């Protein structure tokens, strides 16, 4: 039997050995209702960076609670066991697919979009609702991260899609597609090179996931790349604040001041 770390290493995605408490997930769900209410113009599948409790150029108007969720010690212990003790929080997103109309997410590798050098991130996907075949759970290709290479992504004609680019179908081995079915409160962790996607929500049940992105501090969040090489990303990441949640900045090149003070706090 493979252990937690071995599954992450070989498959690129592993389910956590525990669920979050009902009280915490209920609190997150309540925060999600408020987040959607406060951001009526943002599609609920693309609520970017609620963990940043200031208004930035692109993140959803949010509350400090999301930063607390992202700093949860139990979650950080899991992440530490996969990427080591020096952990930087640099991103998050709520992918909430409303019943019947929730959009799918095209096949992609997260790293295609991100200005991190060398490329490294562990994403924690928390199920705020059950995620299953009916409501568009995440799907992935086990082992697709192992080459540690980005495959080509093409532009998508649909301006309103969740992403602007997707992996060319010819580059996919669809026979290996695996569904990441999770109960409410369960969480999975995936690698930056993993090829994954999700289908639209055609069911009558909502499917919401809160994803938190952590990188080892041996990598650098490169704001110059963030500005000039945006690929399919709709916004500028050059002023995004990042947080060193555990350990030291091993690269000694990360900037933990940019983006933290120049914005006012919207709600406590
Ligand atoms: O929640 C989804 O359907 C997609 C999530 C995703 O692409 C990600 O977490 O990187």
Give yes or no for residue 211 CB within 6 A of ligand 1: yes
Q: In which element (H, E) is residue 191 found? A: strand 187-191
Write the residue with the smallest CA distance to atom 9 of ligand 1: 211
Please report, in tens digits, the pLDDT of each residue of the chain (268 residues total).
999 999 999 999 999 999 999 999 999 999 999 999 988 888 898 898 999 987 665 677 888 899 999 999 999 999 999 999 999 999 999 999 999 999 888 899 998 888 899 999 999 999 999 999 999 999 999 999 999 999 888 777 666 677 777 887 676 788 899 999 999 999 999 999 999 999 999 999 999 999 999 999 999 999 876 554 445 455 678 888 999 999 999 999 999 998 886 544 444 3
Give yes or no for residue 125 CB within 6 A of ligand 1: yes
Question: What pLDDT shows up at residue 263?
Answer: 46
> How far, in Å, is the centroid of ligand 1 from the Cα of 116?
18
CB 109 within 8 A of CB 195: yes
For a mutational test of ligand 1's pocket, the pick from 138, 145, 167, 177, i.e. the residue with the most ligand atoms closer than 8 A to its C-beta, is 138
As a whole number of angstroms, the distance between CA 132 and CA 229 comes to 35
> How far, in Å, is the centroid of ligand 1 from the Cα of 119?
18
Question: What pLDDT shows up at residue 171?
Answer: 64
Burial of 54 (0-12, 13-18, 19+ CB in 10 A): middle
For a mutational test of ligand 1's pocket, the pick from 97, 111, 198, 215, i.e. the residue with the most ligand atoms closer than 8 A to its C-beta, is 198
Measured between its terminal Cα atoms, the distance across the chain in Å is 45
Ligand 1, residue 138: give the atom nearest the CA: 3
How high is the mean pLDDT of the chain? 89
> How far, in Å, is the centroid of ligand 1 from the Cα of 153?
16
As a whole number of angstroms, the distance between CA 95 and CA 48 comes to 9
Ligand 1, residue 136: give the atom nearest the CA: 3
> Percentage of the chain surpassing pLDDT 90?
66
Question: What pLDDT shows up at residue 41?
Answer: 86
CB 202 within 8 A of CB 233: no
Q: DSSP 3-state helix, strand, coil percentages of the chain (rounded to 5)?
A: 25, 25, 50
Question: What pLDDT shows up at residue 266?
Answer: 42
Pairing of strands 122-127, 165-167: unpaired
> How far, in Å, is the centroid of ligand 1 from the Cα of 125?
8
Give yes or no for residue 107 CB within 6 A of ligand 1: no
Write the residue with the smallest CA distance to atom 7 of ligand 1: 197
Give yes or no for residue 123 CB within 6 A of ligand 1: yes
As a whole number of angstroms, the distance between CA 206 and CA 94 comes to 13
As a whole number of angstroms, the distance between CA 35 and CA 117 comes to 31
> How far, in Å, is the centroid of ligand 1 from the Cα of 149?
19
Looking at the domain covering 4-246, what would its CATH class be?
Answer: mainly beta
Question: What pLDDT shows up at residue 57?
Answer: 59
How many Cα atoms sit within 13 Å of 155 on the Cβ side?
Answer: 5
- The model's pTM is 0.93
> How far, in Å, is the centroid of ligand 1 from the Cα of 138?
6
Give yes or no for residue 95 CB within 6 A of ligand 1: yes
Ligand 1, residue 211: give the atom nearest the CA: 9
Q: Where are the domains of the chain?
A: 4-246
């Amino acid at each position: 039997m493979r252990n937690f770390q071995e599954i992450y290493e070989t498959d690129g995605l592993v389910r956590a050995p525990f669920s979050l408490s009902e009280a915490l997930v209920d609190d997150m769900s309540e925060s999600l209702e408020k987040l959607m209410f406060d951001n009526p113009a943002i599609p609920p599948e693309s609520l970017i960076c609620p963990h940043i409790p200031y208004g930035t150029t692109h993140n959803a108007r949010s509350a400090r609670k999301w930063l607390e969720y992202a700093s949860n010690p139990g979650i950080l212990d899991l992440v530490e066991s996969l990427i080591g003790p020096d952990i930087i929080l640099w991103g998050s997103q709520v992918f909430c697919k409303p019943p019947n109309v929730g959009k799918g997410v095209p096949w992609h590798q997260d790293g295609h979009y991100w200005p991190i050098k060398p490329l490294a991130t562990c994403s924690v996907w928390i199920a705020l609702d059950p995620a299953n075949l009916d409501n568009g759970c995440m799907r992935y290709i086990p082992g697709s991260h192992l080459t540690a290479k980005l495959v080509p992504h093409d532009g998508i004609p649909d301006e309103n899609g969740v992403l602007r680019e997707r992996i060319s179908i010819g580059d996919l081995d669809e026979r290996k597609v695996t569904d990441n079915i999770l109960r409410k409160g369960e969480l999975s962790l995936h690698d930056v090179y993993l090829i994954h996607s999700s289908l639209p929500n055609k069911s009558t049940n909502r499917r919401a996931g809160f994803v938190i992105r952590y990188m080892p501090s041996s990598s650098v969040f490169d704001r110059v790349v963030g500005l000039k090489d945006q690929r399919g990303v709709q916004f500028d990441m050059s002023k995004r604040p990042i947080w060193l949640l555990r350990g030291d900045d091993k690269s000694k090149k990360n900037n933990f001041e940019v983006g933290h003070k120049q914005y006012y706090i919207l709600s406590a």
